[in-house]
């Protein structure tokens, strides 16, 4: 395992292969299309596997639920969360991931409701349906703070992405500004009141920034995961 991720029992890995390294973790978050069913079933012998899925954006299809506006950082199209077709599409994907052998789901782009606050209730309806499908299987959320307190009813753990670091327009990592750090501190203290497992996911590319992110996560009692922007390090 790379030293920058050594403080965590979880790996977020969006690359391919590396099953032998992934077995070193208690749980891993993977891109489902990067692995075969045989890979996942083999990995499940030692490691809890989570499949990535996007709930608030779509970058993989031409579905009628896609809105004109795109995420400026990652390029995915925001979706109309009131669309039953979108909900059905998400649930169909999740069901396929469970059939493939994945034991849990990692739900990304929940923050789309910050852009479209009128869609908050529709996102919660999607989460309710997803939880009903998952039953006792674990669900992990990436951020989605605007969905609290209801969100806690649907998830087992939460990821605080960009807890201490973020990216510049030039593509390099930077420490959050003092005001940004104050905001993440406030949100972190609120999250701790929900009794959820919390991971701090940061992106850093030099030893000083890596150390800062790891130590700050430790101060809050969060497990730190520190990687590159595309999450292709283990």
Domains annotated for the chain, with CATH where assigned, are 3-227 (3.20.20.70)
pLDDT, tens only, 90-129:
999 999 999 999 999 999 999 999 999 999 999 999 999 9
Structure tokens at 201: 């996911």
Structure tokens at 71: 């995420």
Query: CA-to-CA distance for 66 and 99, rounded, in angstroms?
Result: 27
pTM score: 0.93
Q: Which of 3-7, 76-80, 193-197 has the highest mean pLDDT?
A: 193-197
Q: Tell the residue number behind the tokens 């989605």, with chain if given.
A: 144
Q: At what angle do helices 120-134 and 84-100 cross, to 10 degrees?
A: 30
The pairing of beta strand 57-58 with beta strand 77-79: antiparallel
Using an 8 Å Cβ cutoff, are 78 and 71 in contact?
Answer: yes
How buried is 84 (Cβ within 10 angstroms: 0-12 exposed, 13-18 middle, 19+ buried)?
A: exposed
Task: List Cβ neighbours of 3 (8 Å cut-off, separation of 6 or more).
Answer: none
Q: What is the DSSP letter of 51?
A: E
Tell me: cis bond preceding 196? Omega within 30 of 0 counts.
no
Mean pLDDT of 199-205: 93
Average pLDDT, the chain: 92
Q: What are the beta bridge partners of residue 5?
A: none
- Examine the pLDDT at 6 and tell me if it is beyond 50: no
Using an 8 Å Cβ cutoff, are 144 and 183 in contact?
Answer: no
CA angle at 118 for the pair 229 and 163, rounded to the nearest 5°: 25
The pairing of beta strand 173-175 with beta strand 165-167: antiparallel
CB atoms inside a 10 Å sphere around CB 2: 12
Q: pLDDT value at position 49? A: 98
Q: What is the DSSP letter of 222?
A: P
Check residue 174 and give left, alpha or beta (phi > 0: left; psi -120 to 50: alpha): beta
């Amino acid at each position: 395992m790379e030293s920058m991720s050594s403080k965590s029992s979880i790996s977020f890995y969006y690359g391919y292969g590396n099953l032998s390294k992934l077995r070193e973790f208690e749980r891993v978050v993977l891109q489902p299309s990067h692995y075969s069913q045989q890979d996942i079933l083999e990995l499940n012998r030692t490691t809890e596997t989570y499949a990535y899925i996007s709930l608030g954006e779509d970058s993989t299809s031409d579905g009628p639920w896609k809105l004109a506006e795109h995420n400026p950082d990652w390029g995915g199209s925001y979706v109309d969360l009131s669309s039953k077709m979108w909900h059905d599409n998400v649930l169909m994907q999740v069901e396929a991931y469970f059939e493939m052998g994945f034991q849990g789901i990692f739900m990304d782009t929940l923050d789309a409701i910050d852009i479209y606050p009128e869609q908050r209730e529709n996102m919660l309806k999607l989460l309710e349906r997803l939880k009903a499908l998952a039953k006792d299987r674990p669900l992990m959320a990436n951020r989605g703070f605007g969905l609290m307190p209801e969100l806690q009813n649907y998830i087992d753990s939460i990821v605080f992405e960009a807890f201490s670091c973020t990216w510049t327009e030039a593509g390099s990592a930077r420490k959050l500004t003092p005001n940004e750090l104050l905001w993440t501190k406030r949100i972190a203290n609120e999250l701790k009141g929900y009794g959820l497992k919390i991971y701090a996911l940061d992106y850093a590319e030099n030893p000083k920034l890596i150390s800062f992110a790891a130590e700050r996560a430790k101060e809050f009692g969060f497990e730190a995961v520190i990687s590159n922007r595309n999450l292709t390090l283990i």
